[in-house]
Structure 1
Amino acid sequence: MRARLHTLIDEAESLADAPDAGAAVVGFFTRMVTQSRTKRAFSDVLALAGIDIEPETRATALKLQSALDVPLRRAQEAGDIRPDVTGPELMALIAGVSAAAERGGWDERLQDKALEIVLDGLRPAGRREG
């Protein structure tokens, strides 16, 4: 579990310098949900940052959340993500949608539509689709 978290941390940290922070955050979110359809217990790993577990594993999960802080802040500064979204809220959304995709056996169409709705909710009101 820690190895999987370290891989995600590395990926999240690499987003800090992405030219388009908004696209980087959305891409990370989308990849996490997409992987949930094929990797069991993935959403459980993402949710670990918010529950009491082994201290070392919890600390590693919190590092993932922290690693997303820079790209999230940059995406907010660019106007791509609403300014009131916090790191813990972003992680909760990723974990929740991933859990639903994983446990619900979503097909690709349902996954795409659910992602569209959630990601639209992350955008500032003036930048929402539809």
Structure 2
Amino acid sequence: MNKTEILKAFNERSKNTLMETLDIEYVNVGDDFLTAKMPVNTRVHQPYGQLHGGATAALAESVGSAASNFFIDHKNQFINGIQLSINHIKGKREGTVFATAKNIHKGRTTHLWEVTIVDENNQLISVAKMTNIVLDIHKK
């Protein structure tokens, strides 16, 4: 698959999910990264008009989980996130945030990702680490 096909496939899989609800869109992919974007508006605000940390965490987990899919056998395996740690550095009221997942560890059963979230001006908003487990699909 080429880059355009990969992004299209990830975005198609987001239909009728939390990713669609939050308007998360996968926008770039490379050999060692995956990037998604999310608009910052009232749909993802907390009561004080700032980007909700939970929405940021959902963005980080979405891109970190999706990125692990590059390293598994889709016919026999699937990914589950088992740990997410996130630090919120700066608030954001409007605009767009971009989350980029880069692999730190690619093991046989676990993957560790660093997810950096920046805004449209490349200002650091949050940093996350995510651990995924690779599970076997048990056929009945």
Determine if the TM-score, normalized by the shorter chain, exceeds 0.5: no
Structure 1 or 2: more strand by fraction? 2
Instruction: Kindly name which structure, 1 or 2, has the bigger radius of gyration based on alpha carbons.
Output: 2
| Structure with greater contact order relative to length (CA < 8 Å, sep ≥ 6) | 1
Structure 1 or 2: more helix by fraction? 1
TM-score w.r.t. the length of structure 1 is 0.34
